[in-house]
Every structure is written in C-alpha cells, then in structure tokens.
Amino acid sequence: MSFEAKTNAATQQEQEQAILASGWRQAGFDMQEAILPAAQAQDSQVRASFPSIFSFSSPQGEVALSRFTSDQIPRPENRWTGNNRGGWSNPELDRLSEAFTVALNPAERQRGIIQMAKIFTEEAPGISLYFNAIPIAFVSELKGPQESVPEADWSWNVYEWEFH
C-alpha cells in the first residue's frame, strides 16, 4: 500500500510528519512525504480535498470536539471552510455540541463534554499524536501563576500576581 502524508510548512509539523512517516514505513507501508507550501496552505480547498493523510495541529479541550461537527466539514457549498477535514459526521455529536454551546449550567456542560468525548473515542475520527508541553518559567518570588484549562491563556489572572 502506498500513500502520501502531507503537512504544512513549519518546523514542528515537518518533524511530526517525519516521525509519522517513519513509523508507517517500519510497519511496511510505502509512505511518501510532502510539504504543503505556505501559499497553498492558505487555500482551503487544497487543504480540504487532500486524499490521504494530512497532519496538522489543533487545539485541546472543549474547542477540539467542536471542530468535528458536521457543519465544520469543508465543502464547495461553504467555500471549503471548516476544520473537520476528514469529513466525519455523527448526528449525535452534532446535537450534543449544539446543546453544549448554549448550556450555562456547569454540570450540564460537563455531561455534554463527557458524552461527546465518549462518541469521539469510540469512533476515532481523529488521532492525537502528541500534545505540546509549554512550560512557563518564572521566579519563585512571583506569586500568582497557576495551571489553567487548555483553552485559557496562562496569564488569565495576571492582575492577581504579586512579587514577594
């Protein structure tokens, strides 16, 4: 079996692709690597209509699940916009995502995320290859920096920080 793995031109993505392609080759597949030049990476149709493996970065957390709804499938009708490049569709995930978007109750939102994550892991429309660790260094005299959810800016509470 022969196929092409493509990624956008960027150091980290190119390194990821090299590792991915090497693993496929070790498994016995004829894997060709290709880099999508920056000019073509801006063309939504080129990115959305690639017929093989396309490796790209995406956010973590709640935002990541919303990228796999049916309305995020790039098509000619929506001018190739959307992040669901694989074209995976699940009506129940769509319903849960819509309900999550308007829910205000934290417990209700949490239940929605759990149900969406269950569907996502059972059907595996995308596979995470790695997670970027972004260490934040600061002097011990600075009190205030804390862990935050993946979607949040690490400096979300900067107004509370103090030097001691």
pLDDT tens digits, 78-92: 999 888 888 899 999
pLDDT, mean of residues 104-120: 91
**In this predicted structure, which of 37-46, 125-134, 137-146 has the lowest mean pLDDT?**
125-134
Pair (47, 98) in one structural domain: no
Residue range(s) defining the domain that contains residue 11: 1-57
Number of domains observed in the structure of the chain: 3
Could you tell me which residues come within 8 angstroms of residue 112 by beta carbon, excluding any fewer than 6 positions away?
96, 97, 99, 100, 103
Over residues 3-24, the mean pLDDT reads: 87
Q: Do 124 and 63 belong to one domain?
A: yes
Q: Are residues 2 and 48 in the same domain?
A: yes
Q: Are 66 and 114 members of one domain?
A: yes
pTM for this predicted structure: 0.68
In this structure, the answer to whether residues 80 and 30 fall within a common structural domain is no
